[in-house]
Amino acid sequence: MNRIACIISYDGTNFSGYQVQPNKRTVQLEIEQALKRVHKGQEVSVTASGRTDAGVHAKGQVIHFDSPFRIPAAQWPKALNACLPDDIRVLSARYAEKDFHARYHTTGKEYRYRVLNAEDPDVFRRHHSAHVSYALDIDKMRQAAAYLIGTHDFSAFCAANTSVIDKVRTLYAVDINVHEDELHFILRGNGFLYNMVRIIVGTLLEVGYGKRTAQSVDTALRTCKRDDAGKTAPPQGLYLWSVQYND
């Protein structure tokens, strides 16, 4: 068997998340159905670097699967894209080592979050960015973001029902860039907890419009209490941008 690693992108608007769920349209289901067609009815399971929720997008999700076929690597995207819907694309493929694992071998990820900061929402961007109508103090948001850099227990910045025991993660960067009427949050780290990016963004937005102080982010990191952080930002602004590996 050959192990193939692919980089894929998808528009999460019309998916109930990445992972297969009964009677729901998911990214994993669509990819496995495409692989089944390519393999003439043979079931092929897919493993991803991580799951994304309903409405969340991916620019550079990584998956792997095993196949008895040994076609040129460049032919895999063509073969799969011919069987996939327009809201999923396979961008590239390569033959990986047999023990390569898309999830367990990750060394880091980058997420981005888009916020439309304008008085009125934009009908053409409503599925691909969150909308905030009030004025934001970007300098204070950047001050707050600085507290998040480094290695911390991010218990306050993950969903309360997460099953992960070890909530210590390292963030290398939390950047906030202004692009005309949009804010782009760029977060890079060695790993992310469930809803971590969305809660961080929601918290920084609350700093931006004066609901909380920049120092409250430091307080939340110290107390590890979910109630000390902000609300969870909506899913449609979030993008899994890239996944890093050592090889």
Question: What are the φ and ψ backbone dihedral angles of 53, each rounded to 5 degrees?
Answer: -80, 170
Which one from 53, 87, 137, 153 is the annotated catalytic residue? 53
Who's near 115: CB < 8 A, 6+ residues apart?
Answer: 129, 130, 131, 132, 182, 183, 184, 185, 201, 205, 233, 237
Is residue 194 a known part of a binding site? no
Residues in the chain: 247
Rounded Cα distance between 113 and 201, Å, is 8
Look up tokens 């669509």; give the residue. Answer: 30
Rounded Cα distance between 205 and 52, Å, is 22
Respond yes or no: is residue 137 known to be catalytic.
no
Rounded Cα distance between 231 and 162, Å, is 16
Tokens of 87: 């809201």
Task: Tell me the CA distances in angstroms from 244 to 88, 151, 233, one per residue in order.
Answer: 21, 18, 25
Instruction: Please report, in range form, the residues annotated as the binding site for substrate.
Output: 111
Active-site residue numbers? 53
Instruction: Please report, in range form, the residues annotated as the binding site.
Output: 111
